[in-house]
Amino acid sequence: MSGTALNGTDLGGATRAEYCVVACADAWRGAGEILASPMGVIPSVGARLAKWTFAPDLLLTDGEATLIGLDGTVEGWLPYRQHLELVASGRRHVMMGASQIDRFGNQNISCVGDWERPRRQLLGVRGAPVNTLNNPTSYWIPRHSRRVFVERVDVVCGVGYDRAAGARHHRLPRVVSDLGVFDFETPDRSMRLASVHPGVTVEQVREATGFELTVAAEVPPTREPTPAELRLIREVVDPGGARAREVGA
């Protein structure tokens, strides 16, 4: 029974995308009755997986102004103005993207190059400044590279530990990439490799990171999805396989 569910789903070999999904889902473990704000496909699949399993009290949105249950039942109204208020209340854990992120978790989505005259204009600071000072903010990076994990971000949008000055509600629980999971559980709150996804080596992570990571002598593998989680991901939460388009095998 170990490899195959009753209904015949092949549970052999979780894919890289599926490790990423559970690593993202775990960000909301124990979060209680708060809003999960996932940005990107894999964090969205992760948030729904979390609600299906170990975090049933999570609030989810339809991406517009409506709070919905797992079956799409409307249970609330959350237009942008109320969403901003909810951020201020802290009752939300957002998982944002990052065009650049540095060792202290400073994040950039504004532009690349000199802000006065950017080489590449991106989205803009959006709500990253307010998010990082008010509610827990995690990051999802689908393609881990030295272009993203940089020594210094060009524009600080999301605030990192070295610039937060101990702000009372500032917390960056984790960074998940296609290579591993990272946290800031170090004395100086710089980024640490918390786990590597199976099939990835520590050296590979170091190679793809543009700054010195804290790496323990023994880095655990990212936890395995349980058979029940794999079945939910494959059959219920993401039957169309959108996750594989964000992170390949």
Partner 1 sequence: MGDKTMTAEEAVSRLESGMTLGIGGWGSRRKPMALVRALLRSDVRDLTVVSYGGPEVGMLAAAGRLRKLVTAFVTLDSIPLEPHYRAARERGAFELAEIDEAMFMWGLRAAANRLPFLPVRAGLGSDVMRINPGLRTVTSPYEDGETFVAMPALRLDAALVHVNRADRLGNGQYLGPDPYFDDLFCAAAESAYLSCERVVDTAELAKTGGPQSLLVKRHRVTGVVEAPGGAHFTSCAPDHDRDEAFQKLYATTPWPEFSARFLAGDEAAYRAAVAAWREEGA
Q: Which residue lies nearer to partner 1 by CB, 125 or 244?
A: 125
Q: Which residue lies nearer to partner 1 by CB, 159 or 181?
A: 159
Q: Which residue lies nearer to partner 1 by CB, 72 or 119?
A: 119
Q: Does 120 bind partner 1 (CB under 8 A)?
A: yes
Q: Cα–Cα distance between 57 and 71 in angstroms, integer?
A: 14
Q: Does 22 bind partner 1 (CB under 8 A)?
A: no
Q: How many residues bind partner 1 (CB under 8 A)?
A: 43
Q: CA triplet 108, 30, 181: central angle to 5 degrees? A: 40
Piece of 6-14, 29-37, 152-160, 207-215 that binds partner 1 (CB under 8 A): 152-160
Q: Cα–Cα distance between 29 and 52 in angstroms, integer?
A: 12
Give, as ranges, the residues between 181 and 210 that touch partner 1 (CB under 8 A): none
Query: Least distance from C-beta 237 to partner 1, angstroms?
Result: 22
Q: CA triplet 55, 58, 59: central angle to 5 degrees? A: 165
Q: Which residue lies nearer to partner 1 by CB, 23 or 155?
A: 155
Q: Which residue lies nearer to partner 1 by CB, 66 or 214?
A: 66
- State the greatest distance between any 2 C-alpha atoms of the chain, in Å, as a whole number: 60
* Secondary structure (3-state) at 16: helix
- Element at 230 (helix H, strand E): helix 227-231
Which of these, 194, 189, 103, 193, lies nearest to 153 by C-alpha position? 103
Which of these, 4, 75, 15, lies nearest to 247 by C-alpha position? 15
Among residues 34, 59, 133, 179, which is the contact residue for partner 1, using CB under 8 A?
133
**Phi and psi (nearest 5°) for 194?**
-85, -35
Query: Least distance from C-beta 114 to partner 1, angstroms?
Result: 10
DSSP 146: T
Q: Does 215 bind partner 1 (CB under 8 A)?
A: no
Footprint of partner 1 (CB under 8 A): 64-66, 77, 79-81, 84, 87-88, 110-111, 115-130, 132-134, 155-159, 163-165, 167-170
